[in-house]
Amino acid sequence: MKTFKFIKMHGLGNDFVIIDNSENTFEIKRKKILKKIGSRNFGIGCDQILIVESNDYKNAKVTIFNNDGSESGACGNGVRCVASYLMNKKNINEIKIKTSSGSLDCWIENKNCFVNMGKPKFEWTQIPLAQKTESQIIKIDQFELYCLSMGNPHGVIFFEDENALNKVDIECVGKKIQNNDIFPESINVEFATILKDKTIRMKVWERGVGRTLACGSGACATLVAARQQNFSLRKNDIILDGGKLTINWLDNEEVIMSGEVNLVFKGNFYFD
């Protein structure tokens, strides 16, 4: 029987297992082990698993996996959680987290954790799509998806009002869109509407995970898609099932995300 230490954290109910500099990372990265860790019935249970490969408290390298064992390039809430954990551990206020999609600057202000998610990408080869399209918006059945990348692919669907949003079968529609041939690497699907107070209500279907209470990169993609279609200002609150994120699309095109993160528990995980 083998074991490793872990930390369980969440950002708005979007929950993560963080493994800090484990000596068993090679074995942990086996898909069978990752799926067991992510299982809510047979393991710890989480949306994503983040493995801290190296850390000097100014820079940390992190590998991100979905709970089905597939690797993910970006995870905004997960990066905020691991950044918060590492900053609190060393009593520092800023750190750079390196992922396979790039390096992300993170910092603490007024108890909230911020992350610079970088610039959105709009080219069809960067999202990626299987073929070039004439518009940023792709129609699948009756749904119009505004497609872009925030380090991972996103398709954002806007609905007329909250009643229309609440009628959507997120699982059925999310699965169907995710598996469409136009998305060679699958896609995260955001379902959104503009509320009466001009904030944005969003629900999400994540590739490799399914329905989650929140998605940081998805919230960033939704703000960008809303602004590009003149639905929103460049800074707005995104209301998710698990709580609120504030997204600010700066004039230099970088997207800043902020919100709460929480430590749930620490423990040891045993596996064969």
pLDDT digits (tens, 9 = 90+) for 243-271: 999 999 999 999 999 999 999 999 999 98
Check residue 243 and give left, alpha or beta (phi > 0: left; psi -120 to 50: alpha): left
- Asked if the model's pLDDT at residue 116 lies above 80, the reply is yes
149 and 126 Cβ atoms separated by less than 8 Å: yes
For the question of residue 147 being annotated catalytic, the response is no
Pair (235, 263) in one structural domain: no
Pair (266, 235) in one structural domain: no
**Averaged confidence pLDDT in the chain:** 95
- The C-alpha torsion from 257 through 200 and 215 to 172, rounded to 10°, is -160
User: Rounded to two decimals, what is the model's pTM?
Assistant: 0.92
- pLDDT over 70, % of the chain: 98
The tally of domains found in the chain comes to 2
pLDDT tens digits, one per residue of 34-82: 999 999 999 999 999 999 998 887 999 999 999 999 998 889 999 999 9
Among residues 30, 4, 245, which one has the least CA distance to residue 117?
245
pLDDT at 54: 84
Catalytic pick from 46, 147, 215, 220?
A: 215
- The C-alpha torsion from 246 through 213 and 176 to 141, rounded to 10°, is -50
Residue 179's domain comprises 137-253
| Helix boundaries (H) for the chain | 25-28, 31-38, 76-90, 162-166, 170-178, 216-228
Q: Tokens standing for 241?
A: 């099932």
Whether residue 244 is contained in a domain is answered as: yes
List phi, psi (to 5°) of 242: -95, -5
* CB proximity list for 30: less than 8 A, separation 6 or greater: none
- Asked if the model's pLDDT at residue 125 lies above 80, the reply is yes
- Asked if the model's pLDDT at residue 241 lies above 60, the reply is yes
User: What gap in Å lies between CA 42 and CA 260, rounded to an integer?
Assistant: 28
Pair (72, 109) in one structural domain: yes
* CA distances for 67 relative to 106, 113, 225, angstroms: 24, 24, 27
Pair (144, 245) in one structural domain: yes
DSSP codes of every residue in 102-141: EEEEEEEETTEEEEE----B-STTTTT-SS--SSSEEEET
Whether residue 126 is contained in a domain is answered as: no
- Asked if the model's pLDDT at residue 231 lies above 70, the reply is yes
For the question of residue 113 being annotated catalytic, the response is no
DSSP codes of every residue in 53-78: EEE-SSEEEEEEEETTS-EES--HHH
Catalytic pick from 46, 75, 81, 106?
A: 75
Pair (11, 111) in one structural domain: yes
Pair (240, 142) in one structural domain: yes
* Coil, helix or strand at residue 212: strand
Pair (87, 147) in one structural domain: no
Whether residue 204 is contained in a domain is answered as: yes
Whether residue 125 is contained in a domain is answered as: no
User: What gap in Å lies between CA 178 and CA 171, rounded to an integer?
Assistant: 10
pLDDT at 23: 56
Pair (75, 155) in one structural domain: no
Domain of 228, CATH number, reads 3.10.310.10
Whether residue 127 is contained in a domain is answered as: no
pLDDT tens digits, one per residue of 14-36: 999 999 875 556 678 889 999 99
C-alpha 17, offset from chain centre: 14
- Asked if the model's pLDDT at residue 94 lies above 80, the reply is yes
pLDDT tens digits, one per residue of 172-189: 999 999 999 999 999 999
